[in-house]
Amino acid sequence: MHVVDSHTGGEPTRVILDGGPDLGSGSLAERAQRLARDHMAFCNAVLREPRGQPAMVGALLVEPEDASCVTGVIYFDAGAVLGMCGHGTIGLAVTLGYLGVITPGCHRIETPAGVVTVALEDESTVTVTNVESRRIQRAAEVRMGDGSTVTGDVAYGGNWFLIVEPSPLPLVPANIGALTCLAIAIRTAANAQGIGGELGQPIDHVIFQATSPTPGIDARNFVLCPDDTYDRSPCGTGSSARLACLAADGRLKPGQEIVQESIIGSPYRLSYQPGPQGGVIPSLTGQAFVMSEARLLFHPADPFRAGIPA
């Protein structure tokens, strides 16, 4: 299996160029459903230790339905197949540039959530124009097991988010363990109470949002991903969902740029334009760096061929 690994703001992406499962034909959404239904063992083998690493996202290249797109891609982590992935799209664009598939300029990429546009500005810098994002519910109340209540906005940015602002704990690296445990508990409670998308889609990510102590940075976040690890980047789809909330509250004007950093300090530049369906069209700019190009081998006698169970 031929792969190229990169990281976007510290969050790893593994682009799978060949050797993945045959997902048949149909829309990207249909093929993503087949990957989730029939091939999670493949996803786990690629991303879990010893072959992978915590927080890594896979990007499986597939034929696009839309002929104007340079490729189709289905993103996944060790916990779920994803509708979209912002950091992964930045990493994919940098990887395609590294491979000579694309040159600096604008290109279209098809995902299960829809077609996104990438502008490769140089070998490491990419601006992603994401799918239309929207807030679903303002100030949803999540009842916790201890009787307390957590309030957050439900929003869509290519994945489903509960955004809690301000964060219940300080967003500092020393609190990553506690933030992870709290976010898992909130997501579990929210999904048990049916808080999510309009059609019952469950929350797959939780964001804690706060101001940043870093000069020149507008905000800091902590993002829990479906595989129960935290996002080392500021999370592209999460940032898109937050832009929808800021727009809905009148806290950010179209075209106005802000800088969002992750809990480890990696930044994205963010802005939006109004969307045709009443949401926002997010724009996010970040940097990715290729780390390795390799062939993954799966020896039939390897006791951890399928990855180390979580």
The two three-digit tokens of residue 53, written as one number: 């690493």
Catalytic residue among 85, 181, 225, 245: 85
Q: Give catalytic status of residue 85 as yes or no.
A: yes
Angle 197-272-276 from CA coordinates, rounded to 5°: 65
Nearest in space to 61 (alpha carbons), one of 22, 102, 18? 18
207 phi-psi bin (left φ>0, alpha ψ -120 to 50, beta other)? beta
Q: Give catalytic status of residue 245 as yes or no.
A: no
Bridge partners for 221 per DSSP: 209
Say whether 104 sits in a helix, a strand or coil: coil
Instruction: Please state, as a whole number, how many other Cβ atoms lie within 10 Å of the Cβ of residue 179.
Output: 24
Q: For residue 124, give the DSSP letter.
A: S
Q: Indicate the helix (H) or strand (E) that contains 282.
A: strand 280-295
The letter for the amino acid at 298 is F
User: What DSSP string runs through 195-216?
Assistant: -B-TT-PBP-EEEEEEE-SSTT
| Residue whose structure tokens are 């964001």 | 207
Nearest in space to 54 (alpha carbons), one of 239, 183, 191, 180? 180
The letter for the amino acid at 274 is P
The two three-digit tokens of residue 193, written as one number: 């109470």
Catalytic residue among 43, 69, 225, 235: 235
Catalytic residues: 85, 235
